[in-house]
Amino acid sequence: MKAYDELNKEELLALKSQLEEEYYNIKTKGLSLDMSRGKPSVEQLNLTEGMLGILSKNEDVKAENGLDCRNYGAPIGLPEARKLLGDIVGVPADHVILGGNSSLQMMFDTVSRSFTHGVLGSTPWAKLDRVKFLCPVPGYDRHFAVTEYFGVEMINVPMTEDGPDMDLVEKLVSEDPAVKGIWCVPKYSNPQGYVYSDDTVRRMASLKPAAEDFRIFWDNAYVIHHLYKEEEKQARIPEILTECEKAGNPDMVYEFASTSKVSFAGGGISAVIASKANLEQIKESMSFQTIGYDKLNQLRHVKYFKNLDGVKDHMKKEADIIRPKFEAVESILGESLGGLGIGSWTCPLGGYFISFDAKPGCAKEIVARAKEAGLILTSAGATYPYGKDPLDSNIRIAPTCPELIDLILAVKVFVVSVKLVSAEHFLKEL
Amino acid sequence: MKAYDELNKEELLALKSQLEEEYYNIKTKGLSLDMSRGKPSVEQLNLTEGMLGILSKNEDVKAENGLDCRNYGAPIGLPEARKLLGDIVGVPADHVILGGNSSLQMMFDTVSRSFTHGVLGSTPWAKLDRVKFLCPVPGYDRHFAVTEYFGVEMINVPMTEDGPDMDLVEKLVSEDPAVKGIWCVPKYSNPQGYVYSDDTVRRMASLKPAAEDFRIFWDNAYVIHHLYKEEEKQARIPEILTECEKAGNPDMVYEFASTSKVSFAGGGISAVIASKANLEQIKESMSFQTIGYDKLNQLRHVKYFKNLDGVKDHMKKEADIIRPKFEAVESILGESLGGLGIGSWTCPLGGYFISFDAKPGCAKEIVARAKEAGLILTSAGATYPYGKDPLDSNIRIAPTCPELIDLILAVKVFVVSVKLVSAEHFLKEL
């Protein structure tokens, strides 16, 4: 098969007609498929069955220090659960504060607190005329939504395979005191699955911000979410708190993590990880917000996983379920679209997403056509601030939730949609 | 025994010397007692053992609508759990949004959101020069702490046995557009255990605020927390949403409730209850803050309690544990302090606290003496905004947590401390 840009008008018209038939055939099947969100599958969730009932008797509810987890107390979390989350991201427990079931909530609350109370004594952002955040793109829609909700001006920074364009980040951060933050998913980024290089991490930690209250929002959502068991296929990145400290910026980062894609997406535990000074402010704010998060669920996690090794063993089982799905998507995309010049995609070693770049100007139409044929994809543009992909090119593929058999069908619907829209695109350009 | 104000100097000196001996004898025992916080006792927590392990198999995790509670989804809560909380406060499920384990957090988030985003389109409070809240006193320290954290100017409003002084509330709310809210615990108030009268509730609902974004923060923390089983000893108050609607103020109230003192203090579920318009704003804000709260815990509550009758039956068992503690405190206070003119206290029919008023100027000293003798009480002043009780008189007694035998000892320590400080007080005044 020739690349689409080598086809003449007759060939394109013939191709289009053939694709329309394929598309029509699919449409009549009345499919209902979904590759839109990074949700674990039922099979994954079933893995953690043993955690559900691990506390069942009154004598099960004590923490290691004797604390009754059913009652009030331990506002920043159980020591052993703080240790578990600390071990997951590679920091000591005393750099960890636990939250509820959602790390997104901890990010939201951190932004909200910065608006109402400032950052370690700085002017509350609500009192400033402009607050800007750097947004590596494509990125995570819910990050961008938080800052949009607070009226933050978001500035796109292109992603590379090594992380955000650090020349641009350094320039913007050092020149503009209105730049208060940057959203980062450093390992297996959402949606590309890229891993920040050691150099990127170190340059990030060594930023010289114009704003004293500039913070890196380091969402380490996929820190242990490898797809492969081989050591050499498991990404490692330098630990950001240590790097910031080494660079003389100990307070410049808030790190976030959770077990949402380890135990239960809706019933995990979350953490914010930061310097002592930052944690003091968070702890103070939390002391007004709540008497404490759910320690029973923290205890369930510790009793079930026991330690980091327990978590890692579990993640291998998760990988065994997810990996074939990623490979199926990549294989079908390769077979169906390889060499056609109408799209490229990432083949991550971890995380929850594959990022697809269509010919510029085609993404929205592809998503619309897929939907018409019964396949829900993440909205085109969602991976950019304000939902605006300037090239209308990026589409996020979330392979984890559907069963393999549905996933294969879904990718085929996607492929036909991509081909059809691309053929029409080339015809228009003739 | 004569009242202290009828004693002459010699009598007071003799009394003081005798009390000092009693106090010294207690002190040498090295007690470690705590009546400071409204925590349920172990015995109470043990009642809900059956809820701990009620979800133990993968097939247990489905909501009534088939939703997998382990996964993302149902951002405002499971329909059946919303119904349960709605039934508890007496409103339909569609007026209920569920949160995490803490209704305090929902109050904090509501105040925070009002500061960053305003109330139904009003100017964000962070942009205003002054924001004021009315604080019925004595009241709940954590309420006052939230508004203090946000820099709100708090105005004391005296409590009566029928609720806040409504003449003053009506005047302040209608005259001053900076008054944006009032903290209320309408049933079995913290700390007095007073119940708002029907008239108070209706006048509250009929307020004509100068500020369009004025809101009643209606913390119905003890809505089903009766101490007695007899119907006539169970307080009933008009349902506030309905009253506000009748009065033409449908959006004027946010109501809060939780199961913190029904199931587990640290692992319950919470709710905000409001008009559709208010809920829309809360829902929008929550959609940025989280993908959803822990639905597994919501499901545990529904499966365990089943319905309102199940909850009510359970609350009778709670009452059987708590009631003897309240009665023991009241009985010892009556026997030891009755007729002495050195203190008065409330005898609530529900809730978690007894409020004690010492002779003005004595509360801090009583709390300090009790501490020295091994009894922790809530800090004197804590029941007032900024921790400042203008009369230095009010002390909150929390009888639920200690075992009965310790509680009796604790009240005896308290009584001696009250007597000793009061005797000294009268001596100084001679």
With pLDDT > 90 as the criterion, what percentage of chain B qualifies? Answer: 99
- Rounded to a whole number, what is the distance in Å from the CA of B74 to chain A's nearest CA? 10
Tally Cβ neighbours within 10 Å of residue A6: 10
Is B171's pLDDT higher than 90?
yes
pLDDT on residue A1: 77
d(Cα A220, Cα A240) in Å, to the nearest integer? Answer: 10
Q: How far is A71 from chain B (nearest CA, A)?
A: 5
- Across the strands, what pairs with A160? A163
Minimum-distance CB partner of B104 among A49, A146, A291:
A291
Alpha helices in A233-272 (DSSP H): 240-246
Chain A's closest residue to B143, CA to CA, is: A288
Please tell me whether residue A426 adopts helix, strand or coil conformation.
Answer: helix
Q: Give ranges for CATH 3.90.1150.10 in chain A.
A: 4-44+313-429
**Which residue from A42, A100, A108 is facing B100, i.e. has the nearest CB?**
A100
Chain A residues whose CB is inside 8 A of the B149 CB are: 117, 285, 288
Q: Place domain B4-44+313-429 in its CATH homologous superfamily.
A: Aspartate Aminotransferase, domain 1 (3.90.1150.10)
How many Å lie between the alpha carbon of B186 and the closest alpha carbon of chain A? 21
| A291 interaction partners in chain B (CB closer than 8 Å) | 102, 104, 142, 265-266
Q: Where in chain A is the domain with CATH 3.40.640.10?
A: 61-306
CATH tag for A61-306 (out of 3.30.70.20, 3.40.640.10, 3.90.950.10, 3.40.50.10470): 3.40.640.10
Query: Is A70–B265 a contact, with Cβ atoms under 8 angstroms apart?
Result: yes
* Amino acid found at A81: A
Residues of A in contact with B285 (CB under 8 A): 149
DSSP E strand stretches across A327-400 = 343-345, 354-358, 375-377, 394-397
Query: Nearest residue of B to residue A124 by CA position?
Result: B126
Longest CA–CA span in chain A (Å) reads: 78
Query: What distance in Å separates the CA atoms of residue B219 and residue B214, rounded to the nearest whole number?
Result: 16
β-sheet bridge partners, residue B68: B62
What distance in Å separates residue A396's CA from the closest CA in chain B? 18
The sheet with strand A163-164 has its strands ordered as A96-98, A270-273, A253-258, A215-219, A179-184, A132-137, A153-160, A163-164
Contacts of A292 (CB under 8 A, 6+ apart): A72, A73, A74, A75, A76, B102, B266
Average pLDDT of B306-332?
A: 98
In the prediction, which pLDDT does B430 show? Answer: 86
The whole-model pTM stands at: 0.97
Return the residue of A nearest to B103 by Cα: A290
Q: How far is A169 from chain B (nearest CA, A)?
A: 26
The pLDDT tens digits for B119-168 are 999 999 999 999 999 999 999 999 999 999 999 999 999 999 999 999 99
pLDDT score, position B46: 98
Q: In this structure, are residues B115 and B123 in contact, taking their beta carbons and an 8 Å threshold? A: no
Instruction: List pLDDT tens digits, range A266-324.
Output: 999 999 999 999 999 999 999 999 999 999 999 999 999 999 999 999 999 999 999 99
Chain-centroid distance, C-alpha B76:
25
Predicted local distance difference test score (pLDDT) of residue A241: 98
Distance of CA B266 to the CA centre of its chain: 15
| Sheet (strand B96-98) strand order | B96-98, B270-273, B253-258, B215-219, B179-184, B132-137, B153-160, B163-164
Single-letter residue type at B96: V
Strand order in the sheet with A354-358: A343-345, A354-358, A394-397
In the structure encoding, which two tokens stand for residue A157, read together? Answer: 């920074």
Low-confidence ranges of chain A (pLDDT < 70): none
Cα separation values, B135 from A158, B147, B383, Å: 51, 10, 10
| CB within 8 Å: A293 and B60 | no
Torsional sign, CA B299, B300, B301, B305: positive
For A33-73, what is each residue's pLDDT tens digit? 999 999 999 999 999 999 999 999 999 999 999 999 999 99
